[in-house]
Chains A and B, each alone.
Chain A
Amino acid sequence: MVTCVNDAMFPDAGKAVVTLLRRLGVEVDFPEAQTCCAQPMVNTGYVDEAVPVVRTFVEAFDGYDAVVTPSGSCAGSARHQHRIVARRSGDPALQDAVARTSPKVFELTEFLVDVLGVDDVGASFPHRVTYHPTCHSLRMLGVGDRPTRLLSKVRGLRLVDLPGAEECCGFGGTFAVKNADVSVAMGSDKARHVRETGAEVLVAGDNSCLMHIGGLLSRQQSGVRVMHLAEVLAATEGSGA
């Protein structure tokens, strides 16, 4: 599951997942029927509207061994919210299909560490990096230190602690526009902490959060770029590979 945000806005994250998983010997497919996990509708209160989207999701992904996604938030949506949507639909077939697909959905670092059993993915990225643990990966999925374990094995990468790392960046889906002022106030503090680290690159596992923090960092002319964790883990920069 590439996710709609990555598909439409950040295709490089999706390409990085393909590169990375193939390098680790995984057979990768992109079922072209996939669209979105339906989280934007569910979290804004439009559950009826989410029903056909979840139906599209389960039809696209039924039959695969694992559904891997470079987003803690979308993985959380599939694992925790799809059953709510299916229940609302009143359709037992959809409820069964959700019960089959939901447990097979993995956030990228969960799949790498828990399923493939690797923490060194053979990447090289000689830069000063700080990592923001996104809320849904941290608190909804409980990915724990999997992302930083993976990053710590990347050749040349210097990982710098982010102050107040576990505090939300303020993106929050439609919160970012429905409560834009509060969202920006939260994001400004996050961006300030990022700048304090002196990192060249801010890395996270969710491009939606990075679009928000990165948008602030860019507006502030901070010179800090944002990259999805998958892109760093796929990188072979300076390794001669």
Chain B
Amino acid sequence: MTGTFVGMPAFPTAARAALADTQLRSNLAHATSTIRAKRAAVVAEVDDWESLRLAGAAVKDEVLLHLDDYLVQLEESLTAQGAVVHWARDAAEACAIVAEVAKAHDVDEVVKVKSMATQEISLNEALEAEGIAAWETDLAELIVQLGDDLPSHILVPAIHRNRAEIKDIFTREMGNAGRPAPDDLTDEPAVLAAAARRHLREKFLRARMGVSGANFAVADSGTLVVVESEGNGRMCLTLPEILVSVVGIEKIVPTWSDLDVFLQLLPRSSTGERMNPYTSTWSGVTQGDGPQEVHVVLLDNGRTRALADEVGRQALRCIRCSACLNVCPVYERTGGHAYGSVYPGPIGAILNPLLRGVGQDEQVDSLPYASSLCGACYEVCPVRIDIPSVLVDLRAQVVDAHRGGLPKPEAVAMKGAAWSFTKASRLAAAERASGLVGRVAQRWGRASLPGGRRAIRRAPGPGAAWTGARDLPAPPTESFRAWWRRTRGGRSEGAS
């Protein structure tokens, strides 16, 4: 169940439900267009943006190429500075390690920095099963947690909620989790933020253990880095006596100076800011300052599987900025829940199949098809992940995984089309058949397209998926091929 919402249907089904949600469509259209415009404006300010993208991709590719060496280097430098390094092959191992640390200190609650890795491994649920409460302290994660909801965006997990909905959630749920919302709560953003701040403050001051992820892990200095906007992360990283960070093995950058590139790329691509408000870095334990027991859990959970994928491994460059979500016309209309994972949108459509493998789960197999291949995601990706090419490659993997056995109607159709397209004479025969349909429509059809061409309003069989909302032009009575032959290339009747 790692990283996936249990029991979610395949994308087309989940998307249909989301498309019918008027409030969701409105919230998403507003939020994504706002953040798209902000990103575009701050990216346009940078003269050498393309060079930065190339540099970011190159640094990550270098890390992925020598990941085995860099991981050992990171472990050594972290250990030398007093951190305890753990290795987790999968979600269950990672969750067990975090729970063990908590239990060793008799801790029954932890405060959390917003973290995709811990979402991916469903850490909160695993800790809850051990009797340990995990409190999300990022404002949007708090909204999701209090609302017993699922995140729908990597950066803005409550993007599907508007402020009126948030006020209702705070009023209804805050009291069950700690300090209740004030009686005079309004849906003004500043008022909502103040209520969250007061609610969270007592948790920050009480908690003995913090849990985080990391945006970057510097191999040579043994430094973990968290970038954030609200300061809640800084609280969690500095106030508790114990800190456990769950870090995907692809989060490494080789040196401190490599951070330069990413601290420029990430905020402009994600929140549309020149610089994020808080950047916290820590290297193991600092005597008398901050947590005195620091653990780092290095998480695989499918990353080595993705690394073995020749085309797909570039997805491990991802720095979780969400620019691809905000620009995706599919995401803008369906929202994140339809993807059935904490990683939604274009990156989720490749990352989930890469981490989990294809051919086993219909939901995962549907994700590479959840794209029109428009390429907007590739254009904005700060580390140049060619998402459309990876999607196409994953589609081939999905098809290959299902070869053998009874072919699906789609496979029959594709094999039939390929057969027709292998010899021009076969295609010509198919066109003569469709020309007959065109002649029938010409004589007896009633519907016309603007401009006068005959139209088909309702097609049978699989064509119904087209004509449910779209007219279809009736086939022409003569194909181009037949016209070319009849007129000897247009010479015997003029060019038309």
Contacts and interface: CB of A to CB of B under 8 A. Distances in A.
B185 interface: no
A185 B333 contact: yes
B440 interface: no
B418 A50 contact: yes
A19 B414 contact: no
Interface string A169-186: 011111111111111111
A212 B467 CA distance: 10
Contacts of A32: 424, 481, 484-485
Interface in B209-244: none
Interface in A182-241: 182-188, 211-212, 214-219, 222-227
Provide the main secondary structure of the chain B interface.
helix
A93 interface: no
B480 interface: yes
Interface residues of A, number: 82
Contacts of A227: 451
Contacts of A211: 472-473
A175 B373 contact: yes
B76 to A, nearest CB: 40
Contact of A53 (B372, B422, B469): B422
Contact of A216 (B329, B334, B470, B490): B470
A215 B451 CA distance: 12
A130 to B, nearest CB: 14
A7 B473 contact: no
B417 A40 contact: yes
A19 B414 CA distance: 33
Contact of B411 (A10, A33, A46, A135): A46
Given A11-B476, A222-B450, A38 B471 contact: no
Given A32-B484, A186-B333, A42 B421 contact: no
B374 interface: yes
Contacts of B414: 40-41, 44, 46, 49
Contacts of B410: 44, 174, 178
A171 B374 CA distance: 9
A34 B479 CA distance: 13
Interface string B65-101: 0000000000000000000000000000000000000
A185 B400 CA distance: 30
A19 B468 contact: no
Contacts of B369: 174-175, 178-179
B427 A172 contact: no
Contacts of B370: 179, 182
Given A182-B333, A212-B470, A218-B455, A135 B372 contact: yes
A56 interface: yes
Contact of A215 (B396, B422, B470): B470
Interface residues of B, number: 71
Given A18-B495, A177-B466, A222-B450, A135 B424 contact: no
Given A135-B373, A172-B372, A173-B373, A217 B450 contact: yes
A96 interface: no
Nearest to B388: A140
Contact of A52 (B418, B434, B473): B418
A134 to B, nearest CB: 9
Interface string A1-20: 01010111111101110110
B495 A15 contact: yes
A136 interface: yes
Interface in B391-410: 392-393, 395-400, 410
A18 B489 contact: yes
A117 B394 CA distance: 40
A139 interface: yes
A180 B468 contact: yes
8 contacts: A11-B478, A15-B480, A35-B420, A41-B417, A135-B376, A179-B12, A180-B465, A182-B19
Given A15-B480, A45-B368, A215-B471, 19 more contacts: A11-B483, A41-B414, A44-B395, A45-B398, A46-B414, A50-B418, A56-B421, A167-B329, A168-B372, A174-B410, A179-B11, A180-B12, A180-B469, A182-B19, A184-B468, A185-B333, A186-B333, A212-B470, A219-B469
